Amino acid sequence: MTTKGLRWRIKTRKRNARKPPRPPQAAARDPLADHPMLPYMHEHLEWLAVHGYSADTVQSRRVAIRRFIVWCDERGLMKPADVSKQVVERYQRHLFYYRKPDGKPLTSGTQMGCLVPLKLWFRWLARENHILYNPASELDIPRDGKRLPRVVLSIPEVEAILAEADPSDPMGLRDRALLELLYSTGLRRTEAANLAIYDADFHRRLIAVREGKNKRDRVVPIGERALAWLDKYLLEGRPQLLTHEHEALFVTDYGEPCLPAFIAARMRKYMECAGINKPGATHLLRHACATHMLEGGADIRFLQAMLGHEKLETTAIYTHVAIDKLQAIHTATHPARLHRAQHEPGSAPAPEAQEALARVLDADEAEPDQTA
């Protein structure tokens, strides 16, 4: 460095030393910080956490109640006692007519997600004597229709996605083991991210899911192929990725425990590599697992226990998706076809059609009468 350059640097340091330090930037002030309803919300959320509600549930309740408080603030409603039955019904109509930036209305599920926490909040306020009565006690929650999965991956599509994970390096080996486990067990991405190394029982071929949705534990069987990839990952891949000791089963490229968003990003990457342009990510493997097992003859109550559904009606959605057997029966029995059947009209139906029809009739007779 030249003498001139050294003098310039010394002079710059002296000038900067004389400058007063910049004041720290103040954090953005919460516009609802002084709203009288906010302390009641915080007290309710604390009550939920103390009584064992999950962090995700507490956060969703926070978002829903805060949205209502913002709506009340715009209308000059400052205290829970200011909220009447008519106000709650007016808020429900507001949600129904609300339009998102793209012009679409809120789905019935989103409206339920806004109103159910509100109803429970006011019930808590009345029970704790913060208000004289519950204005939301008679609020009718909109019915949420049972919607089928938008997309179900076929078996060749699933195999194409799994094959994209290159097991020649530790990251690819981890991804292959992760995708195989998701497809074999039907776990949610959060459940897969929370797995520990001791949750895999190789001798009994089981995966222990601890504190799944609604904090329910369950044990899930895992297939031989997925278990083999998992064993290979634990022996060859995880030790190379691990930077410090912890119990997480799946780790990132930097040795940290995987987060649900990381798992979804890996799934989306391999879908794009396989040329599958369908909406969704990790949950597609869960849908595929349930649908393919149902088509293979699995009992719906077994699937309910495996997927961790609280209600059988949730699992029953997959019976409307798995239609391969129904298609085969339709093809074998319906007379309106593009090509004429092998046998002449009036002759006996084909043996496979008779067997398919007999199975359907037997299953129909075995079902209890719901109208009795």
pLDDT at 205 over 80: yes
Residue 316 pLDDT class (50, 70, 90 cuts): low
Helix H, strand E, coil C: the string for the chain is: CCHHHHHHHHHHHHHHHHCCCCCCCCCCCCCCCCCCCHHHHHHHHHHHHHCCCCHHHHHHHHHHHHHHHHHHHHCCCCCHHHCCHHHHHHHHHHHHHCECCCCCECCHHHHHHHHHHHHHHHHHHHHCCCCCCCCCCCCCCCCCCCCCCCCCCCHHHHHHHHHCCCCCCHHHHHHHHHHHHHHHHCCCHHHHHCCEHHHEECCCCEEEECCCHHHCCEEEECCHHHHHHHHHHHHHHHHHHCCCCCCECCECCCCCECCHHHHHHHHHHHHHHCCCCCCCCHHHHHHHHHHHHHHCCCCHHHHHHHHCCCCHHHHHHHHHCCCHHHHHHHHHHCCCCCCCCCCCCCCCCCHHHHHHHHHHHHHHHHCCCCCC
47-51, 65-69, 90-94, 348-352 — which is least confidently predicted?
348-352
- Catalytic residue ranges: 188, 213, 283, 286, 309, 318
Residue range 258-298, pLDDT digits in tens:
999 999 999 999 999 999 888 888 888 888 888 888 888 77
Does residue 156 carry a pLDDT above 80?
A: yes
Q: What is the pLDDT of residue 87?
A: 94
Model confidence band, residue 42 (pLDDT cutoffs 50, 70, 90): very high
Q: What is the pLDDT of residues 81-113, one digit of tens each?
A: 999 999 999 999 999 999 999 999 998 888 999
pTM of the predicted protein model: 0.65
Average pLDDT over the chain reads 81
**What pLDDT sits at residue 20?**
53
Q: What pLDDT shows up at residue 357?
A: 47
Quick one: pLDDT band at residue 370, thresholds 50, 70, 90? very low
Q: According to the model, what pLDDT value does residue 6 have?
A: 45
Tell me the pLDDT tens digit for each residue of 60-76.
999 999 999 999 999 99
pLDDT at 117: 94
